[in-house]
Amino acid sequence: MNKHENLNSPENLVSDILNHKIYLKNISDISVNAIEEEIGAFQKQIAGRTVWLITFTNDSELAKKLHELNELGFLFIGEPAGWPPAEIFDRIRKKGLLNDNFKEVRWRGPGDWFITER
């Protein structure tokens, strides 16, 4: 279990966007049907763990998927290392492919998270 997968962590997180895949964590029971049926999410075993993934082929398709996740209330992790999903969402917005505001989640420490709107 990592810091984003515990009882003190928010639900419905976009945790990574990497290699034409959007990685989701802490999916609420209520959101499972929506992400499967409306967005095309699926589960896959990676390194012995089950993860939720959504694939995309280009920035336009990524923008559509991010918009749909945003509409469902997903939070975009904004950790400072690498290219966190919040920064990728913002980059897609700056390209003019999205104009949504979104919610970013960051951690100050274990179980100590906060949400900002961007």
Tokens encoding 100:
């949504």
3, part of any domain? no
The Cα–Cα gap between 43 and 117 comes to 28
pLDDT digits (tens, 9 = 90+) for 21-72: 999 999 999 999 999 999 999 999 989 988 999 999 999 999 999 999 999 9
Q: Which domain holds residue 80?
A: 13-117
Region 85-107: mean pLDDT is: 96
Q: What is the chain's length? A: 118
**Res 6 pLDDT > 60:** no
48, part of any domain? yes
Which value, in Å, is the radius of gyration of the alpha carbons in the chain? 13
58, part of any domain? yes
Tokens encoding 89:
């969402």
The Cα–Cα gap between 97 and 91 comes to 9
